[in-house]
A and B are shown apart, each in its own frame.
Chain A
Amino acid sequence: MKKNVFIIVLMFSFIIFFQEICWAKATKNVWVGNASSVQTDVKEAVKEAAQQIKAQLGKHKPEYVILFSTVGYDSAQLLSEVKNALGKNIKIYGGTSCLAVFDQKGFFQGKTASLSMLAIASKKMKFGVGGADLNNNDPFEAGKTAILKAMENAGEKGKNPDLILITPAPGVEEGIIEGIESVVGQVPITGGSSADSTIEGKWMQYANNEVFNNGVVLTAIYTKLKIGLCFEGGYNRTVDEGVVTKSKDRVIYEIDNKPAAVVYNEWVNGEFNDVINSGGNILSRATFYPLAKIIRGSGDVWYTLTTHPSSINFPEQSLSTFSKMEKGDKITLMRGDWEILLNRGLSTPKTALKNGGLNRDEIAFGIFTFCGGAMLAIPEGEREKLPLLVNSVLRGVPYIGTFTFGEQGYVYGIGNMHGNLVSTMVLFSHKEK
C-alpha cells in the first residue's frame, strides 16, 4: 500500500516536473539578444555587439533593438551599422547615455565611446518607434507627434500601446509627457532623458533612421505580456518640508514665501553658503540633497518625486531644478548618499518585479534607466556594481541600461511623471497577463 502511494506520488512529481519544462518551453514568447561594446570604432563596436546578439537570438530575427550609446560615436553611422548588422528593417530606439552603458554583464565605459544593444524577437510584442524634433515643436506637440509616429510604426495606428518607452532630450520632459498623454491617455511611460558625458548638450536620440539632438523618441509597445514598472528616487525623506509659494516652470522662487534658495540652504544646514548670496551651480553637490515633490497617490499612498536643484539664482535667490515645480506643490528635502543611489540597483528591479507581480524566472528582459547625476555621485570604482546588483536580482536576465539626465516613469495610482535623480526599470515577462 505504502509502496503504491510512493509510486503514485513519484509519478505525479515527474508529471508536474515535465509539465513545468514543457510550459517553460511553451511560454518563452520573447527572444532577446543583448550585448555591449567599448570598441572605439562604431562599426567594430556594433559588429561586436551584433555578433553576440545574433548568437543569442539564433534563428530568431530581431524586430526591434534598443540602442544606448555614449556620445563618442557618429550617430548616423551608428544607426546605419546597427541596421547593417541586425537587419535593415529593424526598428531602432534609443539615445545617448552619460559616460557609460550597462547590461547584465556589466558596466561598459569605453575610452571614447561605448554602446549597448538589446534586440528582441517576439510574436507577442509589437514595437513602434517614433520621434519628434523639439527644435521645431513645443514639447507637447513633440510628444504628441512622436507617439503618433510610434503607434503608426507599430502598425497599430489609433490603438493605445500597452507601454511607451521614452527618450527625450533633457529640459522639457513634462510637456512631452503631456503631449503623449494627450494622445494615449495614462499609458505607462518609462524611460529617461538622453545625456552626454560632459553636460554639454551633446545628447542624441535615436529613432529608426533618425537621430535627434534635441528631440524625443518613443517606442510604443503592444503586448499581452506581463510588465513590471518601477520609478523611484530612493532618497530618504526628511522632516524639512515646505510649500512652493512662487515658481515658474523649473524655477522655484519661493518656498513658504521665502526665497527658495535661502530655505533650501537652511534645510541643508548652510551647505551652499558660498553661493547663496552670489548664485552658482550646485548640481553636483545637490545630488545628495535633492528636493522632492510630495505627491499623493491612490488612497493614502504618498509619493516623493525627486527633483535635482541645479543652481542658485542671484539676486532673487531662486532655485533652478530639472523638473517643473508649480505653486502649491508640497516639497520636502531628501537626503541620501552614494550607497543609497547604488542600492537602487537592487531595489529598482525588485520593485519592478513586485509592481508587475513578476517572478524572476519569467522575466524576458528589462530596461534600466539610471540618473546620470546619481551615477556620477557614486564613486568611480563602485559604479560597476550597479549592473551586477541588478543582475543579482534578475539572475542573468538580459537587460539594457542607460544613464540619463532626467527620468520618466509611471507610478501606479499617480500616473506618468518626470523626475530627477530617479531610476526606472521596466521588466517584460514571457508570460502574458
Chain B
Amino acid sequence: MVHRSLFANIFYPLVGIFVGIGIIAITFFIDNQERLIENNLIKTQVLVSQLVGAQIESSYNLETWPFITLNKISASDDVIFWKIVDQEGYVEMASETELWGQKINDPEVASPRMVTKEQYLPDIQETVKIIIYPLNIRVHQKPWTFWLGISLNSVKEAKHALLRISILVCAAIVLFLVLFSFYLSKGITAPIKKLAYTAEIIGRGDLNKRVEITAKNELGEFAQSFNTMAEKLQKSMVSVQELKAEKKRFQDVAESTGDWIWEVDNKGKYVYASPVVEKVLGYKPEEMRGKLFYDFFHPDEKENLKKETLEFLDKKIPFKDFQNRNIKKNGAVVIVETTGVPIFSEEGSFLGYRGVDRDITERKKVEEDLKKAYHQLKQTQKQLIQSEKMAGIGQLAAGVAHEINNPAGFVMSNLDHLQLNIQKFNAIILVLEEFIQNNMPQDPEKLKALQDRLHEVKAENDLEYFKEDLPELVSECLSGMNRIKNIVSNLKNFTHPGTEGYVSTNLNNNLENALSLVFNELKYKCEIIKEYGELPKIKINTQQIEQVFINILINASQAIEKKGTISLKTYVQDENICIEIADDGKGVSQEGIDKIFDPFFTTKGVGEGTGLGLSIVYGIIKEHNGQIDVESRIDKGTKFIIKLPVEKKET
C-alpha cells in the first residue's frame, strides 16, 4: 500500500476539488453568461431592427433611405450586414453594395412576422444570427423586410473575455484556494507532523518532548491536549515504571515472601494466586484458578469456615488474621492466617476479594512452644517473685517480729497483770462462794463477817482499781492480738502467692496496708507525708499491687540514709489512677534509671538486694496494663509514678 502523507491526502484532494469546482463554475457561468449575452444581444438587435425599421418606413415614405441611421448600424461591431429586401426578394439596399439589386432566395422573404434564425456565411466562415423584421412597406400586400445579420463574435469575444477574466479570477481564486488549501493543509498537517514527530520522539522514550503549537484553535487545543496527554503519559510512564517497579517489587515480595497472595471473584473462585501458593498449598498458581477457596479447608472445619467466610463475601467486609486450617495437595495440614479486603469496580460493583494467606503452621507450633515457655516463665516468675518475697521477708522479719513483739509484750504484760488480778478475784470468789455456801446467812453477824471479809479482800486486792482496769486490759489484749493477727495475716498474704485474683479495691487502702507492713522499717528515719486523693475502686491483684508498694517503699527507705521524707500521693488523671511515691534520698543516676527495671539490676551492695524487686514491680504493673515511671536526681531523691487504668473500676 502506497504511503501518502496526510498533507497529500488533504492538499491534493482540496486542490482537485477547488479546481474541479472552478472549472465547473466557469463552464456553467460562461455558458450561462454566453446565453445571457446572446439573448441580450438579440433583444438589443431586435430593438435596433424595430427602430431602424421604423426609420426606413419613415424614409421610404419620403422616397429616401436613412443612410445615417443605417451607417450607424453598419458601424456596429455586432452587425455583419443589413439588407432591405422587397416583397419579391430583391435587395433594395444593403450594407454591402454588391448585393444591391440582387435577388435572394429565402423562405423568409416577405415574412409577415419577425423571424430570427441562424445561418452560416461561408465568405466570412461564421454563423450569424439573422433578424428578419417585416417593414410596414407593402407591395401587393407583401411586406418588405429588414434583414439584420448579427455577429456572435461579440458574444464569443465577451465569452472569451469572460473566460479569460473568469480563468484569471478563478485562477486567482484557485491560487488563493490552493494557497488556502496549502495553508489549511499545512495548518493541519504541520502541527500533526509536529505532533507525529513529537509522538515519535516521545515514543522513543523522551517523555520531556512537547509540541510547540501556539495556534488558538482546535489544533492548538489538540496540541495542548497532546502535551497534557504527554505530561500525563510522562507521569503515567513514571507511574508505570513505578507500577512496574511496584509490580516487580510486588512480584519479588509475592514470590519471596512466605505469604501467598490471592484474589477471588465474587463467587469465591480463585482468579489469581501468587507462586507462593505452591509452597503453602502445594498447588501451582494455574491450578488454583477456578477453584473455590473453601475447597481447601480442613474437613473438620470446612462447614464452619465456609459458612463464616461466605458471610464475609455476603457482607463484603474486610477481615483480618482469619486463621484456618487447609489441606495441602499432599494431604498435609497447613494452618494459614488469612487477611482479605473486598474489591470493587469503579462503578462500585463487588468483584471479589484480594488478600494474603500466611502459612502460620510453624508459627502456631512456635506459639504453642512459646505458650509453654511462657507458662514456664510465668511459673518461674512466680517463683522468682516468691523468692523475692521471701527475700523481703528476711528484711521484714525483724520489723514484723518487732511488731509482733510489741503487742505480744503488752498482751503478755496485761495477761500477767490479769492473771494477778484474777487471783484477787479468786479470793473474792472464795468469799463469795463461802457466802453462797452459807446460803446467805441470815445471821447478821455472819453476814456482817462475810461482808467485812469481802470488803477486806476487796481492799487488799484493790479490787476497785482492777474492776476499772480489767476491761482496758482485756481490750488491750484483744487489740494487741488483733494487731498480731493482722500482721500475721498480712505477712501470710505477702509471703504466699495470691490466688484470689483481681478484686475491687481502693488503692488508698492497699497503699496503707503496704505502708503498715513496712512501717517499722520507715518509722525511725522517715516522715511519711500522705496526700491521698479520692480514688475510684479498681480491680487489681491486691497482693501484687501491695507488693509493688512495699518494694518501692522499702527502696525509698533504703535510699534515705539518715532521716528523710517519703511522700505518698494518689490522684486520678486521664482515666488513670496515679500513685506517686517519692523520697528525698540519695537518688539514682540516669544510667541507673535506664536499667532500673531490668532484672538483677541493683544499686545495693552484694547480698543486700536481688535486683529483681523493681523488675517484678514493672512486670506487675504491666500485667495490670499500667505504667510505671521513675524520676530521680542524685542526692535529691527518687519518685515512682504508677499509673493504673480505671477501665476496671467498678461502676
Determine if A346 and B67 form an interchain contact, defined as CB atoms under 8 angstroms apart: no
18 contacts between A and B (CB under 8 A): A338-B68, A339-B66, A339-B67, A339-B68, A340-B64, A343-B63, A343-B65, A347-B63, A350-B63, A379-B71, A382-B67, A388-B100, A388-B101, A389-B93, A392-B92, A392-B93, A392-B101, A396-B101
Beta-carbon nearest neighbor of B67 in chain A: A339
User: Are A392 and B67 in contact, CB atoms less than 8 angstroms apart?
Assistant: no
Task: Find chain B residues with CB under 8 A from A391 CB.
Answer: 100-101
* 9 A-B pairs with least C-beta separation: A343-B64, A339-B67, A388-B100, A339-B68, A347-B63, A388-B97, A342-B67, A346-B63, A392-B100
Question: What is the bound-complex CA distance between A388 and B95, given in angstroms?
Answer: 12
Q: Are A385 and B97 also in contact (CB < 8 A) when A337-B68, A339-B68 are?
A: yes
Q: How many angstroms from the CA of A333 to the CA of B222 in the assembled complex?
A: 93
Q: Which residues of B contact A347 (CB under 8 A)?
A: 63-64
Looking across the interface, which residue of chain B has its beta carbon closest to that of A382? B67
A340 partner residues in chain B, CB cutoff 8 A: 64
Q: Residues of B contacting A350 with CB < 8 Å?
A: 63
Q: Give the shortest distance, in Å, between B84 (CB) and chain A (any CB).
A: 10
Expressed in whole angstroms, the Cα–Cα distance for A337 and B69 within the complex equals 13
Q: Which A residues touch B101, using CB under 8 A? A: 388, 391-392, 395-396
Question: Which of A338, A346, A395, A396 has the most CB atoms of chain B within a 10 A radius of its CB?
Answer: A346
- Judge whether A138 is part of the interface by a CB distance below 8 angstroms: no
CB within 8 Å for A389 and B68 given contacts A384-B97, A395-B101, A396-B101: no
> Closest B-chain residue to A107, C-beta based?
B97
Q: How far is the CB of B91 from chain A (nearest CB, A)?
A: 9
For window 56-103 of B, CB contacts with A under 8 Å fall at 59, 63-68, 71, 92-93, 97, 100-101
C-alpha spacing A94/B65, complex, angstroms: 30
Cβ of A350 to closest chain B Cβ, rounded Å: 6
Q: How far is the CB of B67 from chain A (nearest CB, A)?
A: 5
Query: Known pairs A347-B64, A384-B97, A389-B93. 12 more at Cβ < 8 A?
Result: A339-B65, A339-B66, A339-B67, A343-B63, A347-B63, A350-B63, A385-B67, A388-B101, A391-B101, A392-B100, A392-B101, A396-B101
Q: Identify which of B59, B65, B66, B71 contacts A389 (C-beta below 8 A).
A: B65
* Chain A residue at minimal CB-CB distance from B60: A346
CA distance A65 to B59 in the complex (A): 36
**How near does chain B come to A346, taking the closest CB pair, in angstroms?**
6
Q: Is the CB of B65 within 8 A of A346?
A: yes
What CA separation (Å) do A391 and B91 show in the bound complex? 12
Checking B63, B64, B92 against A339 with a beta-carbon cut-off of 8 angstroms, the contacting residue is: B64
- Residues of the B chain whose Cβ atoms lie less than 8 Å from the Cβ of A346: 63-65
Selected contact of A343 from candidates B67, B71, B92, B100, CB within 8 Å: B67
CB neighbours (8 Å) of A338 from chain B are 67-68
Least Cβ distance of B66 to chain A in Å? 7
For the complex, give the distance between the alpha carbons of A389 and B100 in Å: 8
Chain B interface size band reads: 10 to 19
A420 to B276, CA, bound (A): 143
Complex Cα distance, B92 from A350, in Å, reads 14
B71:A382 contact, CB within 8 angstroms: yes
Which residues of chain B have C-beta atoms less than 8 A from A395's C-beta? 101
Identify the closest chain B residue to A344 (Cβ): B64
Q: CA A76 – CA B63 in complex, angstroms?
A: 41
Interface centre among A340, A350, A385, by most B CB within 10 Å?
A385
Which residue of chain B is the closest to A385 with respect to CB atoms? B97
Query: Which residue of chain A lies nearest to B59 when distances are taken between CB atoms in the complex?
Result: A343
B residues less than 8 Å from A106 (CB atoms): 97
B87 shortest CB reach to chain A, Å: 15
| Distance between Cα atoms of A112 and B572 in the complex (Å) | 159
Contacts of A396 in B (CB 8 A): 101
Task: Name the A residues within 8 Å of B67 (CB-CB).
Answer: 338-339, 342-343, 382, 385
Encode B586-625 as 1/0 by CB contact (under 8 A) with A: 0000000000000000000000000000000000000000
Cα separation A379 to B75 with both chains bound (whole Å): 14
What separation, in Å, do the CA atoms of A342 and B97 have in the docked complex? 14
Q: Map CB proximity to B onto A345-360 as digits: 1 under 8 Å, 0 otherwise.
A: 0110010000000000
Q: Which residues 368-409 of A sit at the B interface, judged by CB distance below 8 A?
A: 379, 382, 384-385, 388-389, 391-392, 395-396
| Distance of A392 Cα from B101 Cα, bound (Å) | 6
Residues of the A chain whose Cβ atoms lie less than 8 Å from the Cβ of B65: 339, 342-343, 346, 389
In the assembled complex, the Cα of A340 lies from the Cα of B64 at a distance in Å of: 8
Shortest C-beta distance, A46 to chain B (Å), equals 26
Residue of A nearest to B74 (CB): A381
> Distance (Å) between the CB of A365 and the closest chain B CB?
17
Nearest CB to that of B65 among chain A residues? A343
CB distance from B164 to the nearest CB of A (A): 33
Q: B2 CB to closest chain A CB, in angstroms?
A: 70
CB-CB under 8 A from A339, the residues of chain B are: 64-68
Chain B, Cβ-Cβ closest to A379:
B71
Residues facing B in A132-149 (CB within 8 A) are: none
Identity of the chain B residue whose Cβ is nearest the Cβ of A351 in the assembled complex:
B63
CA distance A350 to B66 in the complex (A): 17
Q: Determine the chain A residues whose CB is within 8 A of the CB of B71 once the complex forms.
A: 379, 382
What's the nearest-Cβ distance from chain A to residue B261, in Å? 117
Interface centre among A337, A339, A395 (most CB of B within 10 A): A339
- With both beta carbons as reference points, the residue of chain B lying nearest to A354 in the complex is identified as B63
B92 / chain A contacts, CB cutoff of 8 Å: 392
In the bound complex, what is the Cα–Cα distance between A184 and B93 (angstroms)? 42
Q: How far is the CA of A391 from the CA of B90 in the complex (A)?
A: 13
B100 → A minimal CB distance (Å)? 5
Taken residue by residue from 302 to 337, chain B's Cβ proximity to chain A (1 for < 8 Å, 0 otherwise) reads as: 000000000000000000000000000000000000
In angstroms, Cα B68 to Cα A382, docked, is: 10
User: In B21-64, which residues have CB < 8 Å from any A CB?
Assistant: 59, 63-64
- Give the complex CA separation of A396 and B100 in angstroms: 11
The residue in chain A whose Cβ has the minimal distance to the Cβ of B91 is A392
- B75 shortest CB reach to chain A, Å: 10
Contact string against B for A residues 207-219, beta-carbon threshold 8 Å, 1 for contact and 0 otherwise? 0000000000000
Interchain CA distance A392-B97 in the complex, whole Å: 11
Q: Quick one: which of A340, A350, A396 has the most chain B CB within 10 A?
A: A340
- Indicate with 1 or 0, residue by residue over A85-109, a CB within 8 angstroms of chain B CB atoms: 0000000000000000000001000
Closest to B63 in A: A347
- Chain A residues closer than 8 Å to B66, beta-carbon distance: 339
Residues of chain B within 8 A (CB-CB) of A389 are: 65, 93
User: How far apart sit A389 and B66, CA to CA, in the bound complex (Å)?
Assistant: 12
When chains A and B are docked, how far (Å) is the Cα of A339 from the Cα of B70? 10
Which residues of the other chain, B, contact A384 by a CB distance below 8 angstroms?
A: 97
Give the distance in Å from the alpha carbon of A347 to the alpha carbon of B59 in the complex.
11
Which of chain A's residues have a CB closer than 8 A to the CB of B97?
106, 384-385, 388
| Residue interface mask B275-316, A partner, CB < 8 A = 1 | 000000000000000000000000000000000000000000
What is the bound-complex CA distance between A339 and B93, given in angstroms? 14
A101-B97 Cα distance, complex, nearest whole Å = 17
Kindly list chain A residues whose C-beta atoms are within 8 Å of the C-beta of B93. Answer: 388-389, 392
Inter-chain CA distance A342–B93, complex, in Å, is 13
**A395 and B68 alpha carbons, distance in the complex (Å):** 24
Residues of A within 8 Å of B100, CB to CB, are 388, 391-392
| Bound CA span A160–B97, Å | 42
Q: Which B-chain residue is minimally distant from A343 (CB atoms)?
A: B64
Whole-angstrom distance between the alpha carbons of A363 and B528 in the complex?
186
Please indicate the chain B residues that have their CB under 8 angstroms from the CB of A337 in the complex.
Answer: 68
The residues of B that contact A385 with a CB separation of less than 8 Å are: 67, 97
Which residue from chain A places its CB closest to the CB of B70 in the assembled complex?
A: A339
Bound: A392/B65 CA distance, A: 12
CA distance A384 to B67 in the complex (A): 12
Chain B residues near A382: list those with CB within 8 A: 67, 71
Cα distance A395–B93 in the bound complex, in angstroms: 12
* Measured CA separation A106–B96 after assembly (Å): 13
Distance (whole angstroms) from the CB of B398 to the closest CB of chain A: 173
Quick one: CB contact mask for A130-173 with B, threshold 8 Å, 1 for yes? 00000000000000000000000000000000000000000000
- Complexed CA–CA distance, A388 and B59 (Å): 17
| Distance in angstroms between the alpha carbons of A368 and B443 in the assembled complex | 238
Please report which residues of chain A, range 310-351, place their CB below 8 angstroms from some CB of chain B when the two chains form the complex: 337-340, 342-343, 346-347, 350
